[in-house]
């Protein structure tokens, strides 16, 4: 019984090794995506209204993710033929060509990622994993099946993580449209009293522990 327990990887964990079938052929995740950021997102089921709106929204932002060097991978426990037929339907009826691969996960894969929805049979939850080029999970979003995701927030999160990594800064709420500091970023807290004493001369600030600057 212990082996069947649903577990969920944590922030900072290596993304679990998965060998999967996709609409683009076999794939090893994260191995085949090493060196690139990627977003893996699951959906409850093909041919459902909310999931269809999400797939269209992800595809409409495909170029934004591409510009960030970030790949998209969809996933549910539906079989490959169902994925293919649904993607064909989206192209035929909605005139949207889905360019990213969609994984046909089995229950073991879904359980390894904590993606089976408790009390909902084999339906997968709306999970989002943002993974960095080293295969480390940097962000997780977890939605119930009745609530569609805001895909602009996924784009923003990838941008924010990249800016934070590159500049060693923290990112405020709603960035780049924060109510207090607009599009600026937050300077990490000082490590000692001497640094704290100098902070307000070096940066814009509300106090020595809340300093900010323009993004480099």
* Catalytically active residues, by annotation: 51
In whole angstroms, give the CA distance from residue 128 to residue 121. Answer: 20
Q: Do residues 178 and 204 lie in contact, with contact meaning Cβ atoms separated by under 8 Å?
A: no
Q: In 13-168, at which residue ranges do the beta strands (DSSP E only) sit?
A: 18-22, 25-29, 37-42, 70-76, 102-104, 126-131, 137-143
First to last CA, the chain: 52
In whole angstroms, give the CA distance from residue 180 to residue 186. Answer: 11
């Amino acid at each position: 019984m212990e082996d069947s327990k649903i577990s969920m990887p944590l922030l900072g964990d290596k993304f679990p090794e998965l060998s999967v079938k996709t609409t683009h052929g076999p794939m090893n995740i994260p191995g085949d995506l090493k060196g690139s950021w990627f977003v893996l997102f699951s959906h409850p089921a093909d041919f459902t209204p909310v999931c269809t709106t999400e797939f269209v929204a992800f595809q409409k932002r495909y170029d934004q993710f591409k510009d960030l060097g970030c790949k998209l991978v969809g996933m549910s426990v539906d079989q490959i033929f169902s994925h293919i037929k649904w993607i064909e339907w989206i192209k035929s009826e909605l005139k949207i060509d889905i360019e990213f691969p969609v994984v046909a996960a089995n229950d073991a894969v879904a359980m390894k990622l904590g993606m089976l929805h408790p009390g909902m049979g084999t339906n997968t939850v709306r999970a989002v994993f943002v993974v960095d080029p080293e295969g480390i999970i940097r962000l997780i979003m977890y939605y119930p099946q009745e609530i569609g995701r805001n895909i602009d927030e996924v784009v923003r999160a990838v941008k924010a993580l990249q800016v934070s990594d590159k500049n060693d800064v923290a990112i405020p709420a709603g960035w780049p449209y924060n109510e207090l500091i607009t599009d600026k970023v937050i300077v990490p807290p000082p490590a000692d009293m001497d640094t704290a004493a100098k902070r307000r001369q070096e940066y814009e600030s509300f106090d020595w522990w809340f300093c900010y600057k323009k993004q480099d």
